């Protein structure tokens, strides 16, 4: 039996709610936005308003319900997107809809992301998403993994604009929700097809596009080419969301202003810093932003693990938590020792013990 979350106490001071701006410490001292813009405008996806225009990127193994709620608790008010869900996996029963399509009441607006290359199967899976209460259905046209592309799914659809359009059209007609597509630039530098695919998708009634500005061949190497985001924005009239390599709030705002895109999507940086969306908003409206305290970070970690334990089997909760801990605790006092201790942990109770010890011993220590 592992200790309950309430039995773990914080060194100092007593836990406080996360919502008050006054809990943030420090700030960047960055000047207010030069264009006088007081906040990030939002964008419209059919009947769904995304405001501010910020989105948590879909990330397999990471953006499940528990992490989507983590970013909400850290003040994210825009869109959250689920991890990739194979339409075939859902329909054939390999993915349990009760687990993978589950949406919490406090995480709206939420998009569920589907992958697939069969228009009818995609349409059927999209209807399931609608039935589970999704606000948006997103279609994956960017996944580079060969297990996905070999079935003509993910980024492989960028090589066949006509099939991409048929898939999107079938999904658009199947649901009354807005349908979006997340795409890359193309298969490779010699096959850059995003503008052609985007025009075809827009003609099929897709409500918005997110562009991870790399090719499939690039994987995650090199740098995202945000000039291509500006190109896409000039090409289509639906909202365009830029994605790729956003690291911090100042850089995010500069990319947003430079490209004129409608929204920004953040992936990896949000796992290290789930407060980033709120910080981007703060920077846009006040010219500075705060940092979460040790206590806030510790509460976030314990809360996330508690929710994983409450919702899924303990082994899976442990596995998922381990993939977050290195990023959550980077740079924090005692984090290296904590990560070392966790490497061989096989029991959720031992992980919780180690976390509790770390909070008690490191809470008052400078990071
Ligand atoms: C671990 C991991 C899993 C990902 N899974 C998905 C996914 O399920 N669907 C998708 O469209 N993109 C996926 N991506 C790509 C991200 O959504 C995003 O496009 C990419 O990480 C670039 O954005 P970033 O630099 O802000 O992380 C994944 C990325 C990572 C790092």
Q: How far is CA 83 from CA 162, 317, 354, in A?
A: 25, 16, 29
The confidence score (pLDDT) of residue 364 equals: 53
Q: Is residue 66 part of a domain?
A: yes
Specify whether 275 is located in the same domain as 296. no
Specify whether 296 is located in the same domain as 250. no
DSSP calls for 251-304: HHHHHHHHH--SEEEE-HHHHH-TTHHHHHHHHHHHS---B--HHHHHHHHHHH
Contact 321, 311 (CB under 8 A): no
The per-residue pLDDT for range 145-189, each reduced to its tens digit, is 999 999 999 999 999 999 999 999 999 999 999 999 999 999 999
Residue 109 reports pLDDT greater than 70: yes
In angstroms, what is the span from residue 9 Cα to ligand 1's centroid? 35
Answer whether 245 contacts ligand 1 (Cβ < 6 A).
yes
The confidence score (pLDDT) of residue 319 equals: 87
The confidence score (pLDDT) of residue 33 equals: 44
Nearest CA to ligand 1 atom 2: 59
Q: Is residue 231 part of a domain?
A: yes
The confidence score (pLDDT) of residue 2 equals: 32
Specify whether 64 is located in the same domain as 103. yes
Specify whether 168 is located in the same domain as 93. yes
Residue 347 reports pLDDT greater than 90: no
Specify whether 243 is located in the same domain as 320. no
Structure-block tokens of residue 205? 């009634």
Question: Angle at Cα 146 formed by Cα 142 and Cα 147, nearest 5°?
Answer: 105
The confidence score (pLDDT) of residue 365 equals: 54
Query: Has 143 been annotated as catalytic?
Result: yes
Contact 247, 269 (CB under 8 A): yes
Answer whether 143 contacts ligand 1 (Cβ < 6 A).
yes
What is the C-alpha to C-alpha distance for residues 319 and 317, in angstroms, rounded to an integer? 5
Q: Is residue 31 part of a domain?
A: no
Taking residues 334-363, what's their average pLDDT? 83
Taking residues 38-61, what's their average pLDDT? 93
Specify whether 208 is located in the same domain as 233. yes
Backbone angles phi, psi at 208, to 5 degrees: -170, 160
Q: Is residue 259 part of a domain?
A: yes
Q: Is residue 188 part of a domain?
A: yes
Backbone angles phi, psi at 11, to 5 degrees: -60, -45
Answer whether 59 contacts ligand 1 (Cβ < 6 A).
yes
What is the C-alpha to C-alpha distance for residues 70 and 47, in angstroms, rounded to an integer? 25
Give 357 or 231, the one with higher predicted confidence.
231
Please identify which of the residues 74, 129, 143, 261 carries the catalytic annotation.
Answer: 143
Residue 297 reports pLDDT greater than 70: yes
Domain final residue, candidates 262, 286, 310: 286
What mean pLDDT is reported for the chain?
88
Q: For a pLDDT cut of 90, what percent of the chain falls above it?
A: 71
Give 298 or 223, the one with higher predicted confidence.
223
Specify whether 62 is located in the same domain as 204. yes
CA of 84, closest atom in ligand 1: 8
pLDDT band of residue 86 (cuts 50, 70, 90) is very high
Residue 26 burial (10 A CB sphere; 0-12, 13-18, 19+)? exposed
Domain final residue, candidates 269, 286, 303: 286
In angstroms, what is the span from residue 246 Cα to ligand 1's centroid? 12
Domain that residue 311 falls in: 5-24+292-362
pLDDT band of residue 357 (cuts 50, 70, 90) is confident
Answer whether 113 contacts ligand 1 (Cβ < 6 A).
yes
Number of domains making up the chain: 2
Residues in the chain: 367
pLDDT band of residue 121 (cuts 50, 70, 90) is very high
Contact 197, 161 (CB under 8 A): yes
For residue 325, how far is the Cα from the chain centroid?
A: 17
Q: State the CATH number of the domain containing residue 63.
A: 3.20.20.70
Residue 26 reports pLDDT greater than 80: no
Q: Is residue 49 part of a domain?
A: yes
Backbone angles phi, psi at 85, to 5 degrees: -125, 120
Q: How large is the angle between the packed helices 348-362 and 294-311, nearest 10 degrees?
A: 170
In angstroms, what is the span from residue 299 Cα to ligand 1's centroid? 26
Which of 54, 55, 59, 211 is the pocket-test mutation for ligand 1 (most atoms within 8 Å of CB)? Answer: 59
pLDDT band of residue 16 (cuts 50, 70, 90) is very low
- β 79-86/54-56 pair status: parallel
Domain final residue, candidates 249, 266, 286: 286
Specify whether 255 is located in the same domain as 350. no
The confidence score (pLDDT) of residue 4 equals: 36
Q: How large is the angle between the packed helices 335-342 and 314-328, nearest 10 degrees?
A: 150
Give 10 or 74, the one with higher predicted confidence.
74
Specify whether 133 is located in the same domain as 242. yes
Q: Is residue 280 part of a domain?
A: yes
In angstroms, what is the span from residue 31 Cα to ligand 1's centroid? 31
Contact 186, 193 (CB under 8 A): yes
Answer whether 266 contacts ligand 1 (Cβ < 6 A).
yes
pLDDT band of residue 223 (cuts 50, 70, 90) is very high
Specify whether 99 is located in the same domain as 185. yes
The confidence score (pLDDT) of residue 361 equals: 85
Taking residues 83-92, what's their average pLDDT? 97
In angstroms, what is the span from residue 58 Cα to ligand 1's centroid? 6
Answer whether 244 contacts ligand 1 (Cβ < 6 A).
yes
Dihedral angle computed from the Cα positions of residues 271, 277, 280 and 282, in that order, rounded to the nearest 10 degrees? -130
Specify whether 277 is located in the same domain as 302. no
Q: For a pLDDT cut of 70, what percent of the chain falls above it?
A: 88
Specify whether 242 is located in the same domain as 159. yes
What is the C-alpha to C-alpha distance for residues 69 and 330, in angstroms, rounded to an integer? 21
Residue 14 reports pLDDT greater than 50: no
Answer whether 212 contacts ligand 1 (Cβ < 6 A).
yes
Taking residues 92-96, what's their average pLDDT? 94
pLDDT band of residue 3 (cuts 50, 70, 90) is very low
Q: Is residue 99 part of a domain?
A: yes
The confidence score (pLDDT) of residue 342 equals: 78
């Amino acid at each position: 039996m592992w200790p309950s979350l309430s039995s773990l106490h914080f060194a100092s001071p007593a836990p406080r709610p996360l919502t008050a701006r006054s809990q943030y410490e420090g700030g960047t001292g960055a000047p207010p936005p030069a264009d006088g813009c007081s906040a990030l405008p939002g964008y419209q996806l059919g009947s769904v308003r995304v405001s501010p225009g910020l989105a948590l990127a879909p990330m397999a193994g990471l953006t499940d319900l528990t992490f989507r709620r983590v970013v909400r608790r850290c003040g994210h008010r825009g869109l959250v997107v689920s991890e990739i869900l194979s339409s075939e996996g859902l329909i054939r029963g390999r993915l349990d809809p009760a687990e993978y399509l589950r949406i919490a009441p406090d995480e709206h607006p939420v998009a569920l992301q589907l992958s697939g290359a069969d228009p009818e199967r995609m349409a059927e899976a999209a209807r399931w998403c609608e039935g589970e209460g999704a606000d948006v259905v997103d279609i994956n046209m960017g996944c580079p993994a060969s297990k996905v592309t070999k079935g003509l799914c993910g980024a492989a659809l960028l090589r066949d604009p006509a099939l991409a359009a048929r898939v999107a059209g079938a999904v658009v007609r199947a649901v009354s929700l807005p349908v979006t597509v997340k795409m890359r630039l193309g298969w490779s530098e010699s096959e850059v097809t995003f503008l052609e695919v985007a025009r075809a998708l827009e003609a099929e009634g897709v409500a918005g596009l997110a562009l991870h500005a790399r090719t499939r061949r690039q994987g995650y190497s090199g740098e995202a080419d945000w000039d291509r985001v500006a190109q896409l924005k000039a090409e289509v009239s639906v909202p365009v969301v830029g994605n790729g390599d956003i690291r911090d709030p100042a850089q995010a705002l500069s990319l947003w202003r430079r490209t004129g895109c409608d929204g920004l999507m953040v992936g990896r940086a949000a796992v290290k810093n789930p407060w980033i969306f709120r910080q981007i908003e703060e920077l846009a409206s006040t010219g500075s932003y705060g940092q979460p305290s040790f206590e806030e970070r510790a509460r976030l970690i314990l809360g996330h693990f508690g929710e994983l334990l409450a919702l899924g089997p303990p082994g899976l909760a442990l596995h998922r938590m381990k993939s977050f801990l290195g990023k959550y605790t980077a740079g924090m006092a005692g984090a290296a020792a904590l990560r070392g201790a966790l490497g061989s942990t096989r029991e959720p109770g031992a992980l919780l013990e180690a976390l509790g010890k770390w909070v008690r011993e490191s809470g008052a220590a400078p990071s």
